[in-house]
Structure 1
Amino acid sequence: MLRSKTVFLALLLVLSAALGAAAQVLTPTKLSSALSQPAAKVGEEIDLIVNATIDDKWHLYATDFDPDLGPTAFTFTFTKSPAYELVGKPKSINSKKKFDDVFKGDITYFEKTGQIRQRIRVLQPGALTVQAAVEYQTCTDIDGRCIPGEETLKFGPLTVSGTAAPATTPSKTPQAGAPTGAVVAPGAPPTSAVVPSSNDSATTASAAVTTPPATTLGTEPASDQATVAPTVPTPTVTQDADPGKDGLLAFAFGAFLFGLGALITPCVFPLIPMTVSFFTSGSDSRPRGILKATVYGLSIIFIYVVVGLLVTVLLGADGLNLISTHWLPNLIFFVVFVAFGLSFLGLFEITLPHGMVNKIDAQADKGGWGGVFFMALTLVLVSFSCTGPIVATILTMAAQGQRLTPIIGMLGFSLAFALPFTLFAIFPAWLKSLPRSGGWLNTVKVVLGFVELMLALKFLSMADLAYHWNLLPRDIYLVLWIALSGLLGFYLLGRFKLSHDSDLPHLSVGRLLMAVLAFSFMTYLIPGLFGAPLPLLAGYLPPQTSRDFTLAATGLPTTAAVAAPNTLCETPRYAEFLELPHGLQGYFDLEQAKRCARAQNKPIFIDFTGHACVNCRKMEATVWSNPQVLKRLREDYVVVALYVDDKADLPTTEHYTSKHDGKLKTTLGKKNADLQLTGFNVNAQPFYVLLDPNAPADLQHTLATPIAYEPDAEAFVRFLDAGLASYRQQAQPVATR
């Protein structure tokens, strides 16, 4: 009886392991193809449409960001054909955009649903079917896994009528056959009629072409049915992806806070009681005075929103994208922000031409409802020397986002800016509670000046990184911020005065608290000089690619300082552009690692990783850096990092066709992704394998159960120790023979 129970439990364990292995193949993104119209004439342009359905909590990277950042952008490679030519580059429809702290740059992505369009021009009559190979990547922020995908999509057949036309000049129009996936501004309006292609089966990602979907722990089972198009093409209406309402609301709230800050500047604060008294005195009745004050406030909002609208219309989506990425606008913004900062510090005054202001003020003196509007316009112009830099800051930040952000930013700013004038007109008794004007207003202006100078460095840094000038590396950037925040702290303590400052007989509690914040910020920055990542400021600092200051230079212990001498058996392939963290030495090619491991009689530590893998970087930063983990990796294992998303081309002699999906593997990333999938039926990273170098080439003979993301350093140590013990146990009989 006991024996039968043991056999039964063993069978259960084997079955559970098999199910668990199958469940590792994830297909979070399902793609389908469509045409924007079922028929066209020769010379006409149509859209090839890729619709994506993305699992909850996952995101698909779009086309419109710098592919060199790290994540794999959605890329097409079209089959060459004289029947059509490409027009422009792929466009992601309403993709979301954010700054990624890991990759130190702006990325775009889809959640839940997404759509990418490629326009073509048809050149020959007949039935046209376009074929394209696509590559993409889907990741989740829940546990950091990233899944690479590649498929072949077919668009059509498209009925083309007319007579053949010559193709346009290749220099102007991309030809079919080249990979496309360039940076373009999102948000192009989609064509409403979408005709599904006759082959519109949602071909799954290459990581699961031959494997039926299965459930994993804590997830819902994926559908095992491909999305089959109807026999008769039926037009449907596309739905754009969510444009990111949460981001717009957060930006609007930030702009609102900027508006409140503008109210306590020397150019604006004294005008509040003067303006309010105009509406609460005179021959107008109280209700009419309140109505005029409301119109006054709405006029302020209208003026600023028009400014935001003009920025959007004049620049457009491409212009906003240019501002956020090109070196020249960023260099101009740097100069402008330095000028604004020095103006706030009192070096000079920025004002609009007096003639223009006087003409607007004369219109306000005429009275009536038109006069109320021109009063609001006069306030906007008179306060420009203080509000101009703040408005410019908001519009510059808006240029990093969507086309609506300049309008939303100006709406939030103007709402806060106009609110006091209206409220104090309705409740004039509140004016008594306002503090009196005085030297504290200039203090606010000086604080804003220091902030403007610190923000200016961000724009210089972006231009510096774009052209590799190396004028502002991370250390110099931090030194300047430390100096500016320190000077601000000493200024608030009254240790020095500027030209427009009043005498400071005593230190107020508010001023003291602001000084504490300035010195606290300065103290937080200092460890960054010695390699601290400073995650709270990741979006504003240059990447940690080089540092003049290191812990090693100070004599303090650091993982890089205790790196072992060179123990490699041969020069690693791909070491010119790939490296291991913490001074570790190892390989990026499995066969090299195997040869060295056999020579040194060590097991292999395989790190299936990716440039776009967030949790891979977290593991390296928090777990691999543990002294016990690092010691074992350095001394007990031969380490090999296999990047599954690297685009480096393999030598032609190393190209091969995968037994798993039947596709030709031509890049380092595709080879490594295929190794992981065929060897372990897993397509997510990070994934760690301990391998006996003398085991068969099928990778199935592991020394311990492979693990994925494991933030517990002690558990990772136990994993490494278990693999080492298993290797030594297997090697013992060989040694005693």
Structure 2
Amino acid sequence: MKNLFAVVLLLTGFLGFSQFGNQQPMQVEPVKWFYSVEKISETEFDLIFKANIEPEWHVYSQFTSEGGSLPLEFKFENAGADYELVGTAAEGDTYTEYNEIFEVDETFFKDELYVKQRIHLLKGDLKAVYGKLTYQVCKEVCINGDQEFAFSLTGQKAEVKKKVMTERDAELSSALVLSLKNTHYLENTEEQKGYWEVFVLGFLGGFIALLTPCVFPIIPLTVSFFTKRNENSTKGKANALLYGFFIVLIYLLLSLPFHLLTTINPDILGNISTNAFLNAFFFIIFLFFAFSFFGYYEITLPNSWTNKMDNASNIGGVIGIFFMAVTLAIVSFSCTGPILGSLLAGSLTADGGAMLLTVGMGAFGLALALPFAFFALFPNLLKSLPKSGGWMTTTKVFLGFLELAFALKFLSNADLVMHWGILKKEVFIGLWIVLFVLLTLYLFGVYRFPHDGPKGKLSKGRLGLGILSGVFSVYLILGIAGVNNLRLLSGFPPPSFYSLFPGKHESDLTIFTDMEEGMAYAKENDKLVMLDFTGWACVNCRKVEEQIWTDERVNEILEKDVVIISLYTDDRKALEEAEQFKYQYDNGSVKDIETIGDKWATMRYINFKTTSQPYYVLMTTDYEMLNVPMQYEPVEAYLSWLETGVANAKK
């Protein structure tokens, strides 16, 4: 257990998975280009550029405002000599949004890109038009891309012109290859721990559901039914085990539709975590669940469903047992529904989506099924089960308060995305303090809810939960007072910069934009090197610089131990003519290295097989990598990444 909040997650079966793990280098191709020609007359043609854009990614228009993300640009070879451009290129549907980081309105394409450029021929025998386009596509990270294009004006296929490599090109290309050591950090060595964590959390969620009044009393009744129904006790036990198997199967089947969703849109589950309206929807759903747990109303499915399933369960044999399991799932929904809602929201907002949901649902069903199988095998142990009573009501209220806490997390996600400013960090923590103080008072019997029974002596379990809740409340109060930094809750409240009292820490970091100068300075001063593959038009790059590098803990490490070399992969300033060259990739394609951005972007891809920015590599001046490269992550993950790298260097 990494932190205190994980304990709370385990108690509810809520799959709030950490996404702070280091990301592995990967090649992303979110834009696919297509070219076609429409003949208008013997001397006029429309050159049509189309592109399919992956969901959530944006390609910026030719006409987006200056000072923001990089616009789409076209360079037509021999324009003005062989042909002339008729007006500016016309664009299809675009969208405009205000970017608070750059403080400009940005215009962009999403899902589909369409651009049409008309040309008028100056040479009647012209057979093809060649050129190059450059663009920027962004999501959490930004990728700068370029494409060579060729349009045939004769109806035949036009091939992009092949470029001839020279010895000078090869020599300058070799300078981009870094003599990296410890390259195992670039391998995809991420451990698949997520599924086990999901399984454990889903299982504990199912165990919590067993303690609710909708499920717990059914255990002895159902097991007794199976063992007494058949004179042959062995057959009765076999049927009870089959009943348990069907319970697991039903919950596995409930996750099947989400796998079908991913075949329609692979990103649909991952998009939930950043979609403001879906997060707001989860907020409302969790409120609804919470007040159900408090006893103000019951969440039930239509009686007709229950009656039909109950009638079907009377059918003999295997089919009847299956429908008995379905009946259990439906009848217990008023108690299991809120926990399944947590399971659904938690898994769909984590990497892994539908598969994580299947693992979690299977574990949830297994926890429900085990008691039926266990007590069927050992029916005499049924007498040892505790009687249902007030402790079940306490469990439901406890879960209700936690549902409210999670509801605020989803509202916070929406608030951060939409910049509503209603749940700043202090407000969020203040509301949590109120919730856990109220929970503490309830557990100590200060007040009651509508479904509470007669007031009696507090049990040891209830007192223990009350003490735990009280300690957690004090921890929150000390955090908001500045006595501690609430590191145990990192990633759940809003980030530190999203505060009622914003302020930035001044720093004097050592930053170079030239590779050779930065490496020489680091070697001279015995410091580590952080390659910062960044961009002028990269929103998340600015967030890291303004919100993470200024964090006191991060800033201290960077100032003391690290030299930052910021390499701008979107810098379109031309290199000196003597520094320009051609680079040939392994697949045979050739790229013109004409700008500063071309150089650094190509270096990044050659050595780290990624096209994303921001992208951080921590290493020694001898090119010995110190940990896995980092992309955009929250401050706590970034801090942990730096600390690990520095510790590895000292070893």
**TM-score (structure 1 length as normaliser):** 0.53
Alignment correspondent of 1:546: 498
- Does residue 488 (structure 1) correspond to residue 439 (structure 2)? The answer is yes
How far residue 420 of structure 1 moved from its aligned partner, in angstroms, is 0.6
How far residue 440 of structure 1 moved from its aligned partner, in angstroms, is 0.4
How far residue 245 of structure 1 moved from its aligned partner, in angstroms, is 3.6
How far residue 416 of structure 1 moved from its aligned partner, in angstroms, is 0.8
Alignment correspondent of 1:116: none
How far residue 299 of structure 1 moved from its aligned partner, in angstroms, is 1.3
Corresponding residue to 1:414 among 365, 369, 374: 365
How far residue 298 of structure 1 moved from its aligned partner, in angstroms, is 1.3
- Does residue 293 (structure 1) correspond to residue 257 (structure 2)? The answer is no
Alignment correspondent of 1:325: 274
Kept in 1: contact 2:279–2:411 (CA 8 A): yes
- Does residue 583 (structure 1) correspond to residue 506 (structure 2)? The answer is yes
Alignment correspondent of 2:175: 210
Structure 2 CA distance for partners of 1:661 and 1:621, relative to 1, 3 Å: farther
- For 2:404, the aligned partner's letter is L
Mapped to 2, the partners of 1:263 and 1:205 lie a distance apart of 68
How far residue 529 of structure 1 moved from its aligned partner, in angstroms, is 2.9
Structure 2 CA distance for partners of 1:207 and 1:339, relative to 1, 3 Å: farther
Alignment correspondent of 1:537: 489
Kept in 2: contact 1:78–1:176 (CA 8 A): no
- Does residue 622 (structure 1) correspond to residue 553 (structure 2)? The answer is yes
How far residue 431 of structure 1 moved from its aligned partner, in angstroms, is 1.4
Alignment correspondent of 2:210: 263
Structure 2 CA distance for partners of 1:661 and 1:387, relative to 1, 3 Å: farther
How far residue 389 of structure 1 moved from its aligned partner, in angstroms, is 1.0
Structure 2 CA distance for partners of 1:170 and 1:501, relative to 1, 3 Å: closer
Mapped to 2, the partners of 1:511 and 1:353 lie a distance apart of 34
- For 1:171, the aligned partner's letter is Y
How far residue 263 of structure 1 moved from its aligned partner, in angstroms, is 0.4
Structure 2 counterpart SS, 1:281: helix
Bigger RCO of structures 1 and 2 (CA < 8 A, at least 6 apart): 2
Kept in 1: contact 2:49–2:115 (CA 8 A): no
Kept in 2: contact 1:608–1:644 (CA 8 A): no
- For 2:298, the aligned partner's letter is E
Bigger shift: residues 515-524 or 657-666:
657-666
- Does residue 431 (structure 1) correspond to residue 382 (structure 2)? The answer is yes
| Residues 292-341 of structure 1 deviation map (CA, whole Å, 9 limit, x = unaligned) | 10111111111111111123224543321333332222111111111001
Mapped to 1, the partners of 2:359 and 2:254 lie a distance apart of 11
Structure 2 CA distance for partners of 1:373 and 1:58, relative to 1, 3 Å: closer
Mapped to 1, the partners of 2:291 and 2:132 lie a distance apart of 53
Alignment of 1:174-185 (within 5 A): 177-179=133-135
Mapped to 1, the partners of 2:25 and 2:313 lie a distance apart of 54
- For 1:534, the aligned partner's letter is L
- For 1:547, the aligned partner's letter is S
Structure 2 counterpart SS, 1:545: coil
Alignment of 1:149-164 (within 5 A): none
Bigger shift: residues 438-447 or 350-359:
350-359
Mapped to 2, the partners of 1:590 and 1:182 lie a distance apart of 23
Structure 2 CA distance for partners of 1:383 and 1:79, relative to 1, 3 Å: closer
Corresponding residue to 1:280 among 189, 211, 227: 227
Kept in 1: contact 2:204–2:367 (CA 8 A): yes
Kept in 2: contact 1:394–1:409 (CA 8 A): yes
How far residue 385 of structure 1 moved from its aligned partner, in angstroms, is 0.5
Alignment correspondent of 1:253: 200
Mapped to 1, the partners of 2:489 and 2:27 lie a distance apart of 25
Identity %: 33
Structure 2 CA distance for partners of 1:666 and 1:378, relative to 1, 3 Å: same
Structure 1 counterpart SS, 2:404: helix
Kept in 2: contact 1:340–1:452 (CA 8 A): yes
- For 2:400, the aligned partner's letter is G
Alignment correspondent of 1:15: none
Aligned pairs, how many? 462
Corresponding residue to 1:356 among 302, 305, 313: 305
Bigger shift: residues 444-453 or 467-476:
467-476
Structure 2 CA distance for partners of 1:657 and 1:415, relative to 1, 3 Å: farther
Alignment correspondent of 1:472: 423
- For 1:371, the aligned partner's letter is G
Corresponding residue to 1:503 among 439, 451, 454: 454
Bigger shift: residues 320-329 or 302-311:
320-329
Structure 1 counterpart SS, 2:52: strand
Alignment correspondent of 2:398: 447
Structure 2 CA distance for partners of 1:623 and 1:294, relative to 1, 3 Å: closer
Structure 2 counterpart SS, 1:547: coil
| Residues 543-562 of structure 1 deviation map (CA, whole Å, 9 limit, x = unaligned) | 22232258xxxxxxxxx7xx
Structure 2 counterpart SS, 1:374: helix
Alignment correspondent of 2:341: 392
Alignment of 1:18-167 (within 5 A): 59-61=24-26, 63=28, 87-89=51-53
| Residues 401-432 of structure 1 deviation map (CA, whole Å, 9 limit, x = unaligned) | 32312222211110111111111111112212
**TM-score (structure 2 length as normaliser):** 0.59
Kept in 2: contact 1:486–1:519 (CA 8 A): yes
How far residue 287 of structure 1 moved from its aligned partner, in angstroms, is 0.8
Kept in 2: contact 1:78–1:177 (CA 8 A): no
Kept in 2: contact 1:492–1:511 (CA 8 A): yes
How far residue 522 of structure 1 moved from its aligned partner, in angstroms, is 2.2
| Residues 385-406 of structure 1 deviation map (CA, whole Å, 9 limit, x = unaligned) | 0101111211222212323122
How far residue 661 of structure 1 moved from its aligned partner, in angstroms, is 7.5
Structure 2 CA distance for partners of 1:327 and 1:524, relative to 1, 3 Å: same
Kept in 1: contact 2:230–2:236 (CA 8 A): no
How far residue 255 of structure 1 moved from its aligned partner, in angstroms, is 0.8
Alignment of 1:583-602 (within 5 A): 583-584=506-507
Alignment correspondent of 1:309: 256
Q: Structure 2: state its 5+ residue gaps.
A: 1-21, 38-46, 57-111, 118-130, 141-161, 518-524, 535-539, 583-592, 608-615, 622-640
Structure 1 counterpart SS, 2:193: helix
Alignment correspondent of 2:292: 343
Structure 2 CA distance for partners of 1:220 and 1:444, relative to 1, 3 Å: closer
Q: Structure 1: state its 5+ residue gaps.
A: 1-56, 64-73, 93-168, 185-197, 223-239, 551-559, 561-580, 595-602, 634-638, 678-682, 689-707, 717-737
How far residue 452 of structure 1 moved from its aligned partner, in angstroms, is 0.8
How far residue 449 of structure 1 moved from its aligned partner, in angstroms, is 0.5
Kept in 2: contact 1:609–1:687 (CA 8 A): no
| Residues 332-360 of structure 1 deviation map (CA, whole Å, 9 limit, x = unaligned) | 11111110011101121111111221121
- For 2:216, the aligned partner's letter is F
| Residues 508-548 of structure 1 deviation map (CA, whole Å, 9 limit, x = unaligned) | 22222212221222233335435665333333222222322
Mapped to 2, the partners of 1:520 and 1:528 lie a distance apart of 12
Kept in 2: contact 1:488–1:515 (CA 8 A): yes
- For 2:372, the aligned partner's letter is F
How far residue 75 of structure 1 moved from its aligned partner, in angstroms, is 7.8
Kept in 2: contact 1:323–1:399 (CA 8 A): yes
How far residue 506 of structure 1 moved from its aligned partner, in angstroms, is 2.4
Kept in 1: contact 2:314–2:320 (CA 8 A): yes
RMSD: 5.1
Alignment correspondent of 1:644: 567
Structure 2 CA distance for partners of 1:686 and 1:285, relative to 1, 3 Å: same
Structure 1 counterpart SS, 2:25: strand
